[in-house]
Amino acid sequence: MTNSENDLLLQSLFAESKKELDADAFVLQVMNRTSLLQKKMVATIVTLALLLFLAGWMLDIPLAIAELITEVITATLFDFGNNWVGWALSPINNIAGLCVIGWRIYLFGRRRIFSATRIGVFAQAR
C-alpha cells in the first residue's frame, strides 16, 4: 500500500464519521437501550429479593428446630432456688450436663475395658 492509498482509506473513514445523525432516531435508540437496561435491573433485583426470601424461609425451619433443642437440653432438672447451691450446680443441673456426664462415664468405662483387654492380650503373648 502506498501513502496515497492510505490517504484515500483514511479520507473515506473520516467521511463516514462526518455523516449527520438523525437526532430523533438517536434519542429513540438511547431511550430504548436505557429502558431495556432498567427492566433488566428491576428483574434482577426482584429475582434476588425472591431468592433471599426463599433462602431465609428455608433456613428458618432448621433454626426453629435448633431453638427447640436448645430449650429442651437447657431445661433445669431440679429447682434449687436462687441461692448459692443453685448457682453452684447450674452447669450440671440440666439435660445437657447430664448427657455430657453420661458420655464421659461411657468413654471412661470403654477406655478401662479396652486397656484391660490390651494388657491381657500382651501378657498372654509373652
Calpha distance 42→50 (Å, rounded): 12
* 59-115 residue pLDDT tens: 888 888 889 999 998 888 888 888 888 888 888 889 999 999 999 999 999 888 887
Question: What's the predicted TM-score (pTM) here?
Answer: 0.43
C-alpha to C-alpha distance for 37 and 25, rounded to whole angstroms: 18
DSSP 3-state assignment of 76? Answer: strand
Is pLDDT above 90 for 40? Answer: yes
Asked if 80 and 89 count as a contact pair (C-beta separation under 8 A), the reply is: yes
Q: With a cut of 60, say whether residue 123 has pLDDT above it.
A: no
- Domain limits, the chain: 1-73, 79-126
**Has residue 125 got a pLDDT over 60?**
no
